[in-house]
Structure 1
């Protein structure tokens, strides 16, 4: 049995950053406001190094 979120409760969502998540909610009839956001570019060296390793640089 597939249950949609909108069947359980009427939702209104403010989505920050993950556009695909907002799209999936909208497909289920959820009212969504999407805010385009990304983390600040100026990161501490250790965090930037970790992110580069994850990205394969």
Structure 2
């Protein structure tokens, strides 16, 4: 797996492939957000923060 910022990857495989046929979902969402919103994409850390917030809200219910 590459440690390069997924937002700078040229394609999905370069952004988030684990090398064993699986993909890192956080890196995939980071890459996709950059593809959809150039120069405004979410970092992998931001994607993880959003996921943590959603899980916390669900746990409160």
TM-score, length-scaled by structure 1 = 0.29
TM-score, length-scaled by structure 2 = 0.27
- Choose 1 or 2 for highest CA Rg: 1
User: When you count strand as a share of all residues, which structure comes out higher?
Assistant: 1
User: When you count helix as a share of all residues, which structure comes out higher?
Assistant: 2
